[in-house]
Each structure stands twice: as C-alpha cells, then as structure tokens.
Structure 1
C-alpha cells in the first residue's frame, strides 16, 4: 500500500512536471505558430485579408480643415503690421474612399508600389459651415509672383496687371475656391500661356497621389504598409511614443518628432529643404520645410499646425496662434503583432512665404518677411467598432486565449509538481521513522 501511495505521488509530480514543461514549451512555440498564421494573412499580396482591405480601405478617412481668417489686411499692406489671424473650422471632407491603382509588387526589395486616386466629398454634418463660407486670406498668385518671376522688368509688367485686375496682397474667397481652385483675375490678364486657376489643393479631384512605395511585410511583418518612398524621395518618419489601448486592442503610438522639422543645422538630414529661397541666415529657422520644388517654384512651406515646435522668429509676425501638442501633433497607432495601423492623425499646416517687392505695389510697403499660415488640416481615420471587434476575436482574442492556456498549464503543473513532491518526501520521512 505504501508503494502504491508513493507511486501515485510520483506519478502526480511527473504529470505536474509534464504540464509545466508543456506550458513552457507552448509559450515560444505557440507564439511562432500564431505569428506564422497571422503573417500569412497580413502581408500585402494578392489573396490575403490584409491586401483586400488595403487596396480599398473599409475605414472612413476624413480630412478636416481649419482656415486662418486674416483680421487686419489693410494694416498689414499699409504698415507691415503683424498679421492677426482667427482660426475657423473644422470643415470636413471624406477622402481616400477610392481603390488604389497601378498596384505593382517588387519581390526583390519586398515592396509594393501604387497610386491613390484623389476624391473629396464634403460632409456638412461634420463641419461648422458650408463650402460657400468666405475668408480673408493671402492672395496666392500675388504672393508667388515675385518668387516665380524675379526679373525686374517682368515684375514691372506684372505689377500693372495686378493693379488692372484690382488684386492686392489679400483676397476674399469661399472655402471651395480656396481649397479646390478658382480663376484668378490677375493671372487671367497675363498674355502668355499660364495656368490661371489657383487653389491650395488644385488640381485634386480626378487626379492621383503618388507614386507610393510601401513594404509588403514578406520579409519583416513589423514593416507592413510602412512607406519606403513617396515619388521616389524621402518620406517623413515617426518614432515610438507610448503604448495605449484602442477599443480593447493594445497598440503602439508613433509620433512625428520635432526633429523632422528641425533646421539643417540641427538635423543634417533636412539639408535638401534649405534652398535658394532662404528665410533665415544660414537656414537656422526651424519648424517649417520648403516644398517649393514640388510646387513649381511657388514659396510653399509646410509645418505643424500653429507652428508647433517652430523657432520663435517664424511665428513672431503672426498673432492669434496657439500651438498645442495634443491637438496639433501627428501620430499613428500600430498593432505590434500584425503591423496594422488602426488609428492615425496626420496634421500639417500650409504656409506661403511673402517677401517685400519694390516693383510690385501690393507688396512694396512690407518691411519684413512673413511665413503666412493659410490653413491646417487633420487627416484622420480610426478602426470602426465592428472591425475592432473582429480584430479582437481574430487576433488579440486568440493571442490572449493562448497566453491564458500557457499560464494555466505552467501554474497548475508547477503547483502539482511541488505539492506531490512535498507529499512524497513527507511520506518517505514517515516510512523511514
């Protein structure tokens, strides 16, 4: 009988040890199996669930605009006063609802390239007004004229056309005109062939954005859908910020660092943004990037909204700004196992550089340079409740269940092994006595 009891205790300890070992083995093996299963479905290639949802996103993406309405245009033109602005918005459009086109896989560097057709649908219910709301804003054509045409004789001719068209440094435009384009009265008088339609995002509808080149995730699941290049050039990057919970799903939040908008003196990677159109001595200003080369030589600068993280000299001539980290930063929330972006907010501001121009009457009284904010936008998208629930079931739910099974097996196995071994030793001691 003593033998039976001891054998039973040893058997119980062995079973406990087996369960503990199995639980321990299941941790790395189970993770590998799940990662392998997930990896098969999240790479961007024909036939996967990820590819189907990536080509035409099922998430509603919105682009919100806030317009900087200039409050003192006459004082600025006459006295070179600081520009007082009042932010008005949001005005919201639904974007990125069209399927990606020209999707081409490159197996050598594990990337897929594509273009994104552009389309914007106004959403009145998510806006503070209509597309016919009017704003006093910088005259885009007049401000750009001395930058594009630097010859003195040409500027004299342009000045006569600006005066004839009754154009000035500022103008009143509707939201629809400012964003998507309007016939400019000054440019309409220019005798030689020139684009007479002007708008911050003109042309947009029925055009394509790209070419984008993103990683397909075949070699590294954590890089899936991350942009490698845009139009063959450098793309802005993000860095890890924090771990948060999004609708019950643990995600990593990546943020756009201040360094991305640093001056070339602070960040040599930004040397290509220091162009001939210098806005400060030796390009020491920071917080704005010159993208004029992409805009046919127009003095266009991008920044974070309200000149967040910009040097004081950039925002000093502008009154009415209130930079706020929470409202104005750019971020994306990435699920670390699949690499899917489940939420993002891309926030950028469009600005125009205006300089004094003695031959153009509308600009001749200016005594300083202005980087004039026109508008800022927030392009945002969040995984819907239905898709979040599906994601929790298909990915995080299975991972959590496996983790629970692993912990139970390991815990029960260890407890059984220790308990049975203690009982066995106790019995052995009694037997010896």
Structure 2
C-alpha cells in the first residue's frame, strides 16, 4: 500500500469547498480592502483639528519656490522717439522661499466648512548663481503713471494741476530703484508725499492704495490683510475644497457679473476622484480671478502618479473667444492675453499676462523689444493625486505690466506712445514633499499589492476547482476501464 500525501487525503468535496472559499476570499480582498482603503482615505481627508491632514494644511511643511525676473528698461531716454520701441532686458532670477500659514481657523461642523485667512512670508535665498537684490532696475514710474491714468478723464483745469504736481516733485517717466526697494522694502517718492497731503486726492485722484512708501509687495509680506477670510467646503465629496465665500461675500468686487462670482477651489486640494472630463476651476488669489483648468495628462511626480490640469490657450480671454468673458474687460477691453487688473490695484493701470506675453495677441510683443533670459517652462498647471485630490505639484506664472499711454493736457505724458510695459514676472512652484508624499506613495502602491494578492488567490481557487474536476474525471475513467477489463 502506497503512502498518500496530505493533499491526496483530502476528500474531493472538501477540495471543492476550499476552492470556492479561495474565490470568495479573492473577491473579498479585492473589493473589501478597496472599501477599507477608501474609508481610510476619507478619514485622513476630514478636517479634524489635530489630524495629520489638518496639520499639513495649516502650514506648509516645506517652503514653496518663488522666482522673480525684472525687466530693465535700457532706452528710457528715447521713449518719445516714435521710431524706437521701448527696449528691455530680462534680469534674474531673484529666488525666494514662500511660507504660507493659515490663521484664524474656524471649523463649522453644521455645514462642513472651514473659515480661515492666510499669511505669506517671503525669505530671500542668497545664491552665488543668482542676481543680487541690490541690482538697480530702470522701470516705468508707477506713481506718476497711475496719476496719468486717472487724469486721462479729468477736466483741463485738473490736468493742469496734475502737471504742476509732476513738475513740482520733479517726477520723470522712469525710476531707478533696487530690486529690494521695488519688491518688499519700498521707496520714498516725492509725488507720493505730495498727493497724500491733499484731502481725498490720495485714493480718488491717484487711484492707488497709498502707504508711506511704494513697493509692489510693500507691507504685504507676512500679513493676512490681503488674503482672506475664505470659507471652504470640507466635506469629503464632489464639492470638497469648493469656495463658499471670499471676505464673507459670494462675489468679488474686482469684476462685474459672472466674472466676479465666487466658485471653484483655491488649488490646495481637489475633490477625490475628480472627473477628468470636467474642468477644475481654481481661484488665483494673486489675480482675483477664477481659471478653468483642463485635464492634460498623467505624469510621475517623485514616485507618485499625478493628474495634470492646465488652462487652455485663452486663459486671459476678454470676450474674443467667449462672449461671457467680456466682464473681464472692466471698462477697457484690450486684445486677448492680458487681464485688466486695475480694480485689484486700486484702479492703477496694472495688466497681467503670462510671462513673455505667452498665448497673448502679438500686438503686445510687437510693441516692445525684449532680451529674454528665462527659458524655462512658462505655462501654469496644477497636478493632483487622482484618488485623494491632494496637491502634488503646481506652477503659477504671471507677468505684471503697466499701460503707458499719452494723456492730452498732461505735460509729462502728452507725447508718449501707447504701449504695455513689462515690469516683472513671478514664477511660483509648489512641490509636495515629506510625509504627505510618503503617504501618497503608499496609497498608490497598496492597490497594486491588493490586486496581485487577489489575482493569486483567485488563480489558486480556480486551479483547485479545475484540479478536482480533472481528478474526478480521471477516477471515473479508471473505474470505467476496470469494468471493461473484467
């Protein structure tokens, strides 16, 4: 009598039971574990004070990267020559680290939302390969140009008074200031001092939000004055991250009609499993506009697969492509590719574009001569992890321009050309690193392991059933042969 193995000693009906059990177990591993993972993801995304996600959101663990490039006006003395274009040289980069801290946080459980403001703190990164903040830049005089922009609609008498003010303060069309002064430090300006002494003229006449000094980011470093409060939906559903209100309002004061309607997200996170066929609407607080971003591709970011969304070619459309965007003109429609941001900057002639007038009407580039230094990618985008909606990578690239134009009856500006003068560009790069990234790497690898385990369990169950079937057929055949030989 031959010795039989353990497996052969198991009865066929028990083998059938184990085969069915393995098939059921593979189903349980596949769908049960997926449900468990989704439950874990949901629990991690919930806004509970003290949770990991809440701590990472409140203050960025790693700083964002910011680069500034300034446009040095190299032939400012020839601005009135109709045969010569304004010529610029792009200078930079000037690198900073950006730290964002959410403040005044209030979680509203009754409607699953959170209200908060946030501060920004820029820290310069000295680098031997970069330019110094002491570099002197020749640029269009922002104070005098803002006065001229307002004076274009004044009476002859008021224009005469403005001309006297420009002459009395010895204002010129351009200023020579360091990068540090133009950005955060600010600089004294005699015209600025003069207009602040005239009642109501500082804000109504000059049309600028005046301080004791002028700088494009003067007194905006580490202050929540300009950023919030926001109220955001934080229930983990298809509306996750949607903005309810900005400064307690469902509209913004910067653009009329639908262009000022509050909607979309802040770009910090998206709804889990966002439908890639639908645009991701993101509010850009630096521009006070909402942009539609469309799925572009899937790309690897530090070991994590991300869904990349980017705006289409008409990112700064003012009705050329879509009539509903005419409200972005704000009283003065300009060719496509330029956003009239005068309302954002207290009615100063500030217009925003992509760097190097990317995707803009050729009229802007043809109006100036620029020697470009920055050859990196200029297109903005946002990349999120598809399952969780968490931000993986993103780039916000904008260029600030000022409109210079002739103003009849205003001596200093009576014979200047109409041209959009580039001032500086800013590139902000957001990269997720550290604990968040490690968590996302694990979350993306777990389903692969689960699928492999589920497949192996299913294969073992099916294989066992086939083995039993074949064994039974073989036994039946042997019994049949024995009957035939008798």
TM-score range, shorter chain: 0.7 to 0.9
* Aligned position for 1:48: 51
For 1:419 and 1:363, how far apart are their aligned partners in 2? 93
Alpha-carbon separation, structure 2, partners of 1:30 and 1:143: 64
1:306 offset after TM fit, Å? 1.1
Cα distance in 1 for residues equivalent to 2:314 and 2:110:
32
Question: Which has the larger helix fraction?
Answer: 1
Q: Which residue of structure 2 lines up, in the alignment, with residue 83 of structure 1?
A: 86
What's the counterpart of residue 253 of structure 1?
A: 308
1:184 aligns with 2:194: no
Cα distance between partner residues in 2 of 1:201 and 1:351: 15
SS in 1 for 2:343: helix
The alpha-carbon distance between structure 1 residues 127 and 410, as it changes in their structure 2 partners (threshold 3 A), is farther
1:412 aligns with 2:416: no
Structure exhibiting the larger radius of gyration computed from Cα positions? 2
Which shifted more, 146-155 or 28-37? 146-155
- How far off its partner does 1:7 sit? 7.0
Summarize the alignment of residues 312-391 of structure 1 with structure 2, pairs less than 5 Å apart.
Answer: 312-320=362-370, 327-367=377-417, 369-384=418-433, 387-391=436-440
1:390 Cα shift?
4.7
SS at match of 1:117: strand
Going from structure 1 to structure 2, the CA distance change for 1:85 and 1:420 (only over 3 Å counts) comes to farther
CA distance in 2 between counterparts of 1:118 and 1:7 reads: 70
CA distance in 1, matches of 2:84, 2:187: 28
Distance 1:77 1:14, change over 3 A: farther
Question: Equivalent residue for 1:72?
Answer: 75
The 3-state SS of whatever aligns with 1:64 is strand
In structure 2, the partner of 1:211 is 228
Question: Greater CA deviation, 158-167 or 416-425?
Answer: 416-425
Determine if contact 1:92/1:126 at 8 Å carries over to the other structure: no
Residue aligned with 1:136, SS: strand
Q: Give 1:164's aligned residue.
A: 168
Shift in Å, 1:107: 4.3
Give the deviation of 1:70 after TM superposition: 1.6
Cα separation, partners in 2 of 1:156 and 1:108, compared to 1, 3 Å: farther
| Separation in 1, partners of 2:160, 2:468 | 99
The separation in 1 between residues aligned to 2:241 and 2:376, in whole angstroms, is: 25
Picking from 421, 425, 432, the partner of 2:473 is: 425
Number of corresponding residues: 423
Query: Within 2, Cα distance between the matches of 1:334 and 1:55?
Result: 18
What CA distance in whole angstroms lies between the structure 2 residues aligned with 1:176 and 1:359? 35
Structure 1, unpaired ranges of 5+: 280-284
Residue aligning to 2:105: 103
Q: Which runs of 5+ in 2 are unaligned?
A: 203-209, 253-261, 263-282, 284-289, 482-486
- Alpha carbons 1:65, 1:376 under 8 Å: kept: yes
CA distance in 2, matches of 1:185, 1:130: 26
Q: 1:323 to 1:307 in 2, by over 3 A?
A: farther
